[in-house]
Amino acid sequence: MRLILASNNKNKLREFRQLVEGMDIELLSQSEAGLNLDVEETGATFEENAYLKAKAVTDALGCAAVADDSGLEVDALDGEPGVYSARYGPGHDASDRDRYTYLLNKLGDEKNRSARFVCCICCTMPDGTVLGTRGECEGEIMYAPKGENGFGYDPVFKPLAADRGMAELTPDEKNAISHRGMALREFAEELKRYKNGTDK
Ligand code: IMP
């Protein structure tokens, strides 16, 4: 079975390739599949955005496609930055550091610092089947950044399941508790079930 990842992000491609190892699946990025598509993320939820990205590829190429959408929800900010995590705060060209600094300033000395990372994966099949999984990593926003690993908002997030900040964890430690790790592992199971059903 051929599966197209609705992204050209090399890290995502590596993670998804690891996941489908041994499953008789040929996983290609959009550009490897010869597709140049930039889908606008107009959905109000992570689920909707993941679906929009995967469906656009299935419609264009007629084959199975998978996409993910993720971000950070901060309770005291009514769920911000949410689906806007990648474009939150100052300007289009802002760095990860600019964005988490903006978040820290907006939160100020607010006592309620609970937050979560969310990752939704959606896979659309040419037969109309839609597979979807969601992973969440609960935690809190720290008062100051810590650690050098990871990306995005990792330096200001401390997972409940860890005794250090997300950016202080090794990639394996992060993967074991992260929203993306959880959504990916569940997706692998869903995909196996779908394949077993359709191969019969
Ligand atoms: P997307 O899913 O590629 O659209 O990414 C959404 C944005 O959410 C990223 O640009 C990051 O700002 C944020 N984000 C998603 N996952 C993580 C994570 O594991 N650590 C830190 N930030 C994340």
- What pLDDT sits at residue 97? 95
Tell me how crowded residue 192 is: count the other CB atoms within 10 A of its CB: 12
Ligand 1 test: best mutation among 70, 97, 120, most atoms within 8 Å of CB?
70
pLDDT in tens, 143-159: 999 999 989 999 999 99
75 vs 14 pLDDT, higher one: 75
- What pLDDT sits at residue 24? 84
Is the overall model pTM greater than 0.85, yes or no? yes
- What pLDDT sits at residue 199? 59
- pLDDT at 106 > cutoff 80: yes
Q: Which helix (H) or strand (E) holds 65?
A: strand 64-74
- What pLDDT sits at residue 9? 83
H helical segments located in the chain: 10-19, 46-61, 96-107, 171-177, 179-199
Q: Are strands 2-5 and 130-141 parallel, antiparallel or unpaired?
A: unpaired
- What pLDDT sits at residue 165? 98
β-sheet bridge partners, residue 134: 120
Concerning whether 59 is annotated as a catalytic residue, the answer is no
Buried b (16+ CB within 10 A) or exposed e, 18-40: ebbeeeebebbbbeebebeeebe
pLDDT in tens, 44-82: 999 999 999 999 999 999 999 999 999 999 999 999 999
Q: Is the CB of 86 under 6 A from ligand 1?
A: yes
Output the residue whose Cα is nearest ligand 1's atom 11: 152
Do residues 107 and 74 make contact, with C-beta atoms less than 8 angstroms apart?
Answer: yes
Q: Is the CB of 73 under 6 A from ligand 1?
A: no
Question: How far is ligand 1, taken at its centre, from the CA of residue 156, in Å?
Answer: 13
Q: Is the CB of 69 under 6 A from ligand 1?
A: yes
Residue 81 DSSP class: B
Provide, rounded to the nearest whole percent, the portion of the chain with pLDDT above 90: 78
